[in-house]
Amino acid sequence: MYTHSPLKALTFSYDDGTEYDRRLVEILNRYGMKAAFNLNSGLLSGAGGWEQNGVPIRRMNVKGLPELYAGHEIAVHSLTHPRLETLDAGTVLNELEQDKLNLERIFHAPVCGMAYPYGSYNETVVNIIRQVGLRYARGTVSTHSFDIPVNLLTYQPTCHHKDSELMNLAEQFIRLKPDVPQVFYLWGHSYEFEVNNNWQILEDFCALIAGRDDIAYVTNAQAFLGEQP
Ligand SMILES: [Zn+2]
């Protein structure tokens, strides 16, 4: 169990389960980094997909995913990626509870966290998240902060990987000598690296911040809850 020793933790959160997660996992594993991968279990299929800047983007089939994501955390992103706050309570419950159950069945591990599709929510959604037994949920608003808030169900990340302050924040985090636990929380979509042709951002960030004795490289659950996975 991770007990916030060292006090600084770095964690990643990547959404949607597209094919570019394969390259992302390879890079993270090479640097000893851990992520939560937020998956829509109702959409885990190579059928369909979309294009951005001429780059094809497809979600992955289920077979092989437990092996791909081994050592990382799997988290809820809803069954079908709707705007949850537009739905009736029964449908929000279905989107979250069934996604959690499906992911626990596929990955043979408890699921305790989530990322909001589109980063959006309201009070009803937050109450249902609590009811389903999820213990943290991430939005998409950069805080440029490393503090761990009391309410983890409306957690907002440190920054997105395309944030112009990314490397400055990394250097700030490396210099930090905190008295309380601090988390550098980076989020995004792996397909964005391909669409924007900027995988180097991730390589540079990892190279700078990897392998330091006073930083724990952990999953979201470990960073927030001090727990596996
Ligand atoms: Zn998403």
What is the H or E stretch that residue 172 is in?
A: helix 166-175
Q: How far is the CA of 216 from the centre of ligand 1 (A)?
A: 26
Q: How far is the CA of 160 from the centre of ligand 1 (A)?
A: 13
Position 5 confidence tier, pLDDT thresholds 50, 70, 90: confident
- What is the reported pLDDT for 217? 98
- What is the reported pLDDT for 206? 98
Position 226 confidence tier, pLDDT thresholds 50, 70, 90: confident
What is the H or E stretch that residue 106 is in?
A: helix 89-107
Q: How far is the CA of 30 from the centre of ligand 1 (A)?
A: 25
Q: How far is the CA of 178 from the centre of ligand 1 (A)?
A: 32
pLDDT digits (tens, 9 = 90+) for 178-207: 999 999 999 999 999 999 999 999 999 999
Q: How far is the CA of 6 from the centre of ligand 1 (A)?
A: 31
* Residue 22, pLDDT above cutoff 50: yes
- What is the reported pLDDT for 3? 61
Q: Over pLDDT 70: what percentage of the chain?
A: 97
* Residue 70, pLDDT above cutoff 60: yes
Q: How far is the CA of 39 from the centre of ligand 1 (A)?
A: 8
Lowest mean pLDDT among 35-39, 205-209, 225-229: 225-229
Give the mean pLDDT of 150-171. 98
The overall average pLDDT reported for the chain is 96
Position 229 confidence tier, pLDDT thresholds 50, 70, 90: very low
Give the residue carrying structure tokens 């989107």: 95
Q: How far is the CA of 7 from the centre of ligand 1 (A)?
A: 30
* Residue 1, pLDDT above cutoff 90: no
Q: How far is the CA of 191 from the centre of ligand 1 (A)?
A: 11
User: Is residue 210 within 8 Å of residue 36, measured between CB atoms?
Assistant: no
Question: Which residues have C-beta within 8 Å of that of residue 82, sequence separation ≥ 6?
Answer: 91, 95, 117
Task: Report the distance separating Cα 5 and Cα 216, nearest Å.
Answer: 8
Quick one: how far is CA 26 from the chain centroid? Answer: 16
Give the mean pLDDT of 143-155. 97
pTM of the model: 0.96
* Residue 176, pLDDT above cutoff 80: yes
